[in-house]
Structure 1
C-alpha cells in the first residue's frame, strides 16, 4: 500500500499536524545551535582572547545617505536591528494563533493564557522578594520569559514519550509569554519618548494597515514601510523591537481566493491546459498551454496567505542565524573565577529562583485553577503531571531573558553580568529538571 503523502492524498489530521510538526522540528534544530553559540560565547569571554570578544561587539557600524546617517555599535545593531526581525516573526505567530490557531477558540486559549500569566507573575514576585529595591529591582522582568526554541528542543529529545498536544500547549504558553515580555519592554523598559518620531513611526504603521486594506499583497512594500516604522520607533525612545510586533499585525493574513473559488478556478485552467493538446503531451507546450499555466500560477498566488509565506520564509533565518548571533553577542559573561559569588548574588539568585521554582509553580497553579473551575478543558492526553513538566521547561528563559537583562541594567555593569549568568544557570537547571520529570514521571501517567 502506497504512502498517502506520495500520491498526493492526505488525511485531515495530517493537514492539521504537519505544519506544527515542521515548525517544532525547526525550533528544535535552532535550539541546539543556540546552545552551541551560547557555550562558544562563554568560552570566548573567559579565554585569553576575551578582549577581542568585547571589542568586536563594540565596533561602530554606520549606514548613511547624504547628510543622514545612523551609527551604532555592532551589538546594538544585533539587539535593536536583527532582534526586530525575531520579534516580527513572533508577531506573525501571535496573529496566526489568534486567527486559526490555539487562541481562536476561547476554551482552548484559556488554559495556556492562564498558565503563561501564572508563569510570569510568580517568577517576578520571587525575584522581588530577594531584590525589593534599588538598582537590582529593575530586573524583575528577567525571569518572566520563556525561550521557545530551547523548550521545544528539549521536548524533541523526549520523542513520543510526551503527547503531541503538550507541545502545542507549551508553544502557546511561550507565545503568551512573548506577548507579556513585549508589553513589559514597551511599558517599563522604554526611555524618554520623542513624540515627533513616535508619530512618524505610528504614521508609517497606519500606512501599512492602509496597504493591507487596499489589497496590496507583495512583501516588498511592507518591508520598506516597515523599516521606516522601525526607524521612527528607534529614534522615539520606544524599543525598536516593538516595531517588529506591530508591523506583523499589518501583514495580510487571508487569501484572495477561498477554497471553493481556488478549486473551481484551478480545475478550469487544468482543463484548458489539457484541451489545448488532447493527444501527445511530450512535445513543447503550445501558446494556449503556456497561457493556462500563467493563469494557474496567478490563481495559486491569490490562494496563498502572505502572513504564512513570510513566517515560513523567515523562520530558518531567525532560528539558524539571528538567534545564534544574538546568543554569541550576549551570552559571553566574564566570570573572573568567582562562579559561586556570581551565582549567590541576589540578582542571580532571584532569577534562578524565579525561573526554576517560580515558573513551574505559577504555570501549574494557574492551570489547576482554571481546570477545577471548569473554565478550560484539558488537551487530550495531557494531565497535571505533564503541565508541571511544561512549567519546568518554561523556566528556560535564555534568549528573551538575556534580552530583557540587557534592557534592565546598564551595559557592561556588574548587575548585567550576574543577571545573564543567572539566566544561563537557571535555563540549564530548568531544562534538566523538565526533561527528567517528563522522561521518568509524566510519561508513566495517563
Structure 2
C-alpha cells in the first residue's frame, strides 16, 4: 500500500469521530459540548508536546490564516524551524500541517492519525478524543515536537475561548480583524464575537491586536488589561500607506511602534493583506527577527486560494471569501485593480449569511453564476437564484466556470468565491494543489 492509500485509510478512521466542519458547529456553544478542560487533560496524558516549542496562537474572523502564513515565511527567512497549523484545508488535508513552509509528508501524518485514533478507541493515553478537530490539533502539536520546530504557529479554528487550540498556554497571542461570522454560534454582534476571540488572552503573555472597529478594540484592550497581558501592540495605532496593488502583489509602507518599514511587498493582493502583514511583522518583532529578514520573508509568502490568479483571457481569480466582510474587502481590491466588474461563480454553505454576501456581490458584478458542491451544508444553486433572479444556475461546477468565462469574454474577469470548500474545488479544476510546489 503506497503512502497516499495509507493516508486515505487513516482518514476513514479519523472521520468516524465527530466532524463539526462537515456537520456545522453545535448551537448553543457551551462548555458541555466544547469542554477544552477535558482536551487539556488529554494533551497532558500525551506528554504536553506543545510545551517543547514556542507557540503563537492567532484568532480572528478574517486574515488570521494569512497572518500566520506570513509569519511562517518571515521565520523561515530567519532560519527558524517552523510548524504551521491551519484549518480548513482546500485540497489536501496535509495543507493543515506545514513544516518550514512545506506540507507534512503523507507517511508522517498517517502514522500520527493512526496513533491517536487507536489511543482514543483502545483507551490508552488519549482516550476521550471526541472530534476530528481535536485529533488533528493534537497531531499538529506532536508532529511539530517530533520534528524539532522552534516555533509553532497555531491558527484558532473557530472563536477562541472554547476552541481546541486554546487548550495550550501560548507564548504569544494575536487577534486579526473581527467581523460577523459564525453568528449562530459565537453571537450576532461583533462585540459578542470579540469576547469569544479574547478568550485566548493570557496573563503575562503579549498580544498583537490587528485593526478593529473601535467598540471591538476597546473591548479587547479592556480584557487584556484586566487579565494582565504583559504587552499589547495595538495596530490601530500603526500607519499603513498602500503604494500599489496588482493581481499578484501589494506594495505598502508601514510605521509601527516608532519604527518605519518603507517599500514592503507581499505576493498577496489587497489592502487587507497589508493589515495582515502588519500583524505578522509585529509578531516577528516579538520573536526578535531582524528587519531585513522581515522584508525577505514577506516576498516569499505562499497562501493559496486568497485572490489567487489562476488563468488569463479571461483572468480567473479564486478567493476563499465566505462572509459579507470578506466580500467587501475582496471587491475593494478588485475595484482598485480594474474598473470593470467581474462575472462571479458563487456557492456557499448554509450557515453563512449568504443573502448579505449576494447583496454585496451584486453591487460590483457583470453577472453571477450560481452553483453548489457536494457537502452536507451546501446551499443548492436554485435557492441562491431566488435571492438574485438575474443569476444563472449551473448544473455543476465545471459548467459554472465555463458559463462564467464565456460571459466574461477574453478581456474580462471571473471570480470564484463564497466558500473555502469552493476555492478548493476550483484549485482542483485548474490542476493546482497547495501541496505541490
The verdict on a shared fold, with TM-score over 0.5 as the criterion, is no
Where is the strand percentage greater, Structure 1 or Structure 2?
2
Where is the helix percentage greater, Structure 1 or Structure 2?
1
Q: Give the structure-2-normalised TM-score.
A: 0.25
